[in-house]
Amino acid sequence: MSKWEKFASVINIALGVFIAVYSYYYLKLGIMISPGAGFLPFFLGIALIVLGVLWFITTGISRVSASKTSEGDSSCTCNDDLPGETPITGRFPRKLVFGLILIVVYAWLFERLGYLLSTLFFMLGWQILVEREKWIKTIAITVLSAATMYAVFRFLLHVQLPACVWFSLGGI
Amino acid sequence: MDIFHGLLNGFAVALAPINLLFAFIGALVGTAVGVLPGLGPAATIALLLPIAYTVSSPVTAIIMMAGIYYGAMYGGSTTSILLNIPGEAASVVTCIDGYQMAKKGRAGVALAIAAIGSFIAGTVGVIGLTLFAPPIAEFALSFGPPEKFSLALVGLLMAVTLSGSSMIKGLILTAIGMLLGSIGIDPISGKTRFSFGITELQSGFDFVTLAMGVFGLGEIFYNLESTGITTIVTTKVGQVWPRLKDWTQSRMAILRGTLVGFFIGIIPGGGAVISSFVSYAMEKRIAKHPEEFGKGAIQGVAGPESANNAASSSSFIPLLTLGIPGNASIAMIFAALLIKGVTPGPFLITEHPDVFWGVIASMYIGNVMLLILNLPLVGLWVQLLRVPYGILAPLVILFTAIGSYSIANQAFDIYALIGFGIFGYFLRKLSFEPGPLALAFVLAPLIESSMRQSLLMSGGNFSIFVTRPISATLISLFAALIIGHAALSLFKRTKKVQI
Check if B413 contacts A (Cβ < 8 Å): no
User: Could you give the angle at the alpha carbon of B58 between the alpha carbons of B55 and B61, nearest 5°?
Assistant: 55
B-chain CB neighbours of A107 within 8 Å are 401, 411, 414-415, 418
Residue B497: per-residue pLDDT: 59
pLDDT band at A88; cut points 50, 70, 90: low
Residue of B nearest to A91 (CA): B225
Does the beta-carbon distance from A159 to B406 stay under 8 Å? yes
Check if B395 contacts A (Cβ < 8 Å): yes
A-chain CB neighbours of B462 within 8 Å are 32
pLDDT band at B485; cut points 50, 70, 90: confident
A-chain CB neighbours of B222 within 8 Å are 86
Residue B344 half-sphere exposure, CB side, CA atoms within 13 Å? 31
Whether residue A57 sits in one domain with residue A7: yes
* Secondary structure of residue B192 in the 3-state scheme: strand
Question: Is-contact B210 B177, C-beta < 8 A?
Answer: no
Report in angstroms the alpha-carbon separations of B195 from B183, B191, B198, B199: 7, 10, 5, 7
Nearest to B411 among A1, A37, A111 (CB): A111
- pLDDT digit string, tens, across residues B451-481: 988 988 888 888 888 888 888 888 888 788 7
CA neighbor of B38 nearest in space, from B356, B276, B423, B391: B391
Higher pLDDT, B245 or A63: B245
> Is the pLDDT at B306 greater than 80, yes or no?
yes
Check if B149 contacts A (Cβ < 8 Å): no
> Is the pLDDT at A79 greater than 50, yes or no?
no
Interface of B with A in 211-230 (CB under 8 A): 217, 220-222, 224-226
- pLDDT digit string, tens, across residues B44-64: 788 777 777 777 788 898 888
Residues contacting B380, CB < 8 A, separation 6+: none
Does the beta-carbon distance from A107 to B414 stay under 8 Å? yes
Residue of A nearest to B388 (CA): A131
DSSP string, B355-373: HHHHHHHHHHHHHHHHHHH
pLDDT band at B234; cut points 50, 70, 90: very low
Q: What is the mean pLDDT of residues B140-151?
A: 86
Whether residue A157 sits in one domain with residue A101: yes
Does the beta-carbon distance from B224 to A96 stay under 8 Å? yes
Does the beta-carbon distance from A88 to B175 stay under 8 Å? no
- pLDDT digit string, tens, across residues A122-134: 999 998 888 888 8
Nearest to B448 among A22, A30, A40 (CB): A40
Q: Return the C-alpha torsion angle B264, B267, B273, B274, nearest 10.
A: -60
Whether residue A103 sits in one domain with residue A144: yes
Does the beta-carbon distance from B390 to A133 stay under 8 Å? yes
DSSP string, B381-435: HHHHTTS-HHHHHHHHHHHHHHHHHHHHT-THHHHHHHHHHHHHHHHHHTT--SH
A-chain CB neighbours of B194 within 8 Å are 22, 41
> Is the pLDDT at A89 greater than 50, yes or no?
yes
A-chain CB neighbours of B176 within 8 Å are 48
Does the beta-carbon distance from B431 to A84 stay under 8 Å? yes
B-chain CB neighbours of A86 within 8 Å are 222, 225-226, 429
Residue where a domain stops, chosen among A72, A104, A126: A72
Question: Is-contact B303 B359, C-beta < 8 A?
Answer: no
Residue of A nearest to B406 (CA): A159
Nearest to B193 among A37, A88, A161 (CB): A37
Whole-angstrom distance, CA of residue B453 vs CA of residue B458: 9
> Is the pLDDT at A80 greater than 50, yes or no?
no
Residue A51: per-residue pLDDT: 93
Does the beta-carbon distance from B390 to A32 stay under 8 Å? no
Residue B140: per-residue pLDDT: 83
pLDDT band at A45; cut points 50, 70, 90: very high
Q: What is the pLDDT of chain B when averaged over all its residues?
A: 83
Whole-angstrom distance, CA of residue B343 vs CA of residue B425: 31
- pLDDT digit string, tens, across residues B59-111: 898 888 888 888 877 777 777 787 776 666 677 788 888 888 888 888 888 88
Whether residue A135 sits in one domain with residue A98: yes
Does the beta-carbon distance from A84 to B194 stay under 8 Å? no
Higher pLDDT, B449 or B489: B449
Q: In this structure, is residue A28 part of a structural domain?
A: yes
How many domains does chain A divide into? 2
Nearest to B430 among A4, A41, A51 (CB): A4
pLDDT band at B415; cut points 50, 70, 90: very high
B-chain CB neighbours of A100 within 8 Å are 221, 418, 422
- pLDDT digit string, tens, across residues A97-145: 899 999 999 999 988 888 889 999 999 999 888 888 888 888 998 999 8
3-state secondary structure B109-173: HHHHHHHHHHHHHHHHHHHHHHHHHHHHHHHHCCCCHHHHHHHHHHHHHHHHHHHCCCHHHHHHH
Whether residue A98 sits in one domain with residue A58: no
> Is the pLDDT at B495 greater than 80, yes or no?
no
Residue where a domain stops, chosen among A38, A72, A106: A72
Whether residue A106 sits in one domain with residue A67: no
Mutate to test the interface with B, among A22, A40, A130 (most CBs of B within 10 A): A40
Q: What is the mean pLDDT of residues B133-143?
A: 84
> Is the pLDDT at B400 greater than 60, yes or no?
yes
Residue type for B381, please? W
Whether residue A155 sits in one domain with residue A102: yes
Residue B143: per-residue pLDDT: 84
Q: In this structure, is residue A85 part of a structural domain?
A: no
Q: In this structure, is residue A133 part of a structural domain?
A: yes
Q: In this structure, is residue A80 part of a structural domain?
A: no
Question: Is-contact B303 B256, C-beta < 8 A?
Answer: yes
Does the beta-carbon distance from B411 to A110 stay under 8 Å? yes
Q: In this structure, is residue A107 part of a structural domain?
A: yes
User: Could you give the angle at the alpha carbon of B394 between the alpha carbons of B391 and B396, nearest 5°?
Assistant: 100
Q: What is the mean pLDDT of residues B393-404?
A: 86
Interface of B with A in 303-332 (CB under 8 A): none
Chain B: closest CA distance from residue A86 (Å): 7
Q: What is the mean pLDDT of residues B13-32?
A: 88
Whether residue A153 sits in one domain with residue A101: yes
Whether residue A99 sits in one domain with residue A55: no
Nearest to B397 among A30, A103, A148 (CB): A103
Whether residue A104 sits in one domain with residue A64: no
Q: What is the mean pLDDT of residues B368-393?
A: 78
Residue B62: per-residue pLDDT: 87
Q: Which of A52-56, A68-72, B237-241, B351-355 is predicted with the least confidence, judged by mean pLDDT?
A: A68-72
Residue B390: per-residue pLDDT: 81
CA neighbor of B317 nearest in space, from B86, B110, B136, B61: B136
Does the beta-carbon distance from B415 to A38 stay under 8 Å? no
- Count of A–B CB contacts within 8 Å? 160
Does the beta-carbon distance from B460 to A133 stay under 8 Å? no
Q: In this structure, is residue A160 part of a structural domain?
A: yes
Q: In this structure, is residue A79 part of a structural domain?
A: no
Residue of B nearest to A140 (CA): B391
Chain A: closest CA distance from residue B395 (Å): 7
- pLDDT digit string, tens, across residues B335-355: 888 888 888 888 888 888 888
Helices (H), chain A: 2-22, 39-72, 94-125, 135-150
Q: In this structure, is residue A84 part of a structural domain?
A: no
pTM: 0.81
pLDDT band at B139; cut points 50, 70, 90: confident
Q: Which residue segment(s) compose the domain that A104 sits in?
A: 94-168
> Is the pLDDT at A75 greater than 70, yes or no?
no
Interface of B with A in 45-64 (CB under 8 A): 50-51, 54
Q: What is the percentage of chain B residues whose pLDDT exceeds 70?
A: 92
Whether residue A142 sits in one domain with residue A99: yes
Check if B409 contacts A (Cβ < 8 Å): yes
